[in-house]
Chain A
Amino acid sequence: DGGITQSPKYLFRKEGQNVTLSCEQNLNHDAMYWYRQDPGQGLRLIYYSQIVNDFQKGDIAEGYSVSREKKESFPLTVTSAQKNPTAFYLCASSKGANYGYTFGSGTRLTVV
C-alpha cells in the first residue's frame, strides 16, 4: 500500500545538536510539506516543496532546513538555531491542488 513513512517515531536532541527527520513517500506525489504541531495550536507550516530540487519557506522556517533531491524524499533538519524544537513534526504530501493531503504518522522531538 502507498503511504508516507516518517522516522524515527521518537527523537531526542541535546542542546546545540542538529537532528534530521526522515520523510519518504511512495504515492508519486509532487508536493511535500513539513508541519509542526504544538499543544493547543493548529499545525504550522515549516517548509514545502512542489517539485524536486525546489522548496519554499513556510510560516516558521527559522532554525530549520530541508532538501528535495528525490521525488520520494523530503528530510527536515532541525538545527541548533531552533531555540524551541520540542514538538510533534508531521510530513504530508499531495498529488495536486484538486486533491487532499496525506499525512505521515509523525515524529516527536524532545530536547534533553
Chain B
Amino acid sequence: KQEVTQIPAALSVPEGENLVLNCSFTDSAIYNLQWFRQDPGKGLTSLLLIQSSQREQTSGRLNASLDKSSGRSTLYIAASQPGDSATYLCAVRHDPRGDYKLSFGAGTTVTVRA
C-alpha cells in the first residue's frame, strides 16, 4: 500500500525566507504527483502537477521537483510572504494497477511571520 509522508508537519519562517517542503512516497510506480494548498476550513487548491516522466514544474515563485526512483518530491516557495501561510499537501496518483487513485500526505502547515 502506498504511504505518503510529509516532513516537517509544521514550519514557521520569517517573511522573505525560502520555503522547502518535503514529500516522500513508498511505491515509486506512480502516474503523477500533485501539490495542493489548503487554507483553514477550505477546500484544496491545486498548485502544481508533475507527471511521472517530468523532473520538475514551475509556476511563479513555486517550483516542485520529482525524483521517482527515490520516492521524493520537494516543493520550493521563493521569497515567502504572509499570504503563503497555509497547509500544503502532496498527493501521488497510482499507476493503472492502482486504478489511478490518489494517496495523500498529512500535510505541512506553514506560518510566514511578517
Contact = CB atoms under 8 A, between A and B. Distances in A.
Given A42-B4, A42-B89, A42-B107, A101 B43 contact: no
Nearest to A38: B106
B93 A97 contact: yes
Contact of A103 (B4, B43, B107): B43
A33 B43 CA distance: 14
A90 B41 CA distance: 11
Interface stretch (A12-20, A71-79, A104-112): A104-112
Interface residues of B, number: 26
Interface residues of A, number: 26
B55 interface: no
Interface in A14-47: 31, 33, 35, 40-43, 45
B42 to A, nearest CB: 6
Interface in B59-114: 89, 91, 93, 96, 99-107
A48 B94 CA distance: 14
Contact of B31 (A48, A92, A97): A97
Nearest to B50: A100
A108 B101 contact: no
16 contacts: A6-B43, A33-B102, A35-B104, A41-B106, A42-B4, A42-B104, A42-B106, A43-B104, A58-B101, A97-B31, A98-B31, A98-B32, A100-B32, A103-B43, A104-B43, A106-B42
Interface of B: 4, 31-32, 34, 36, 41-46, 49, 51, 89, 91, 93, 96, 99-107
Interface of A: 6, 31, 33, 35, 40-43, 45, 48, 56, 58, 88, 90, 92, 97-106, 108
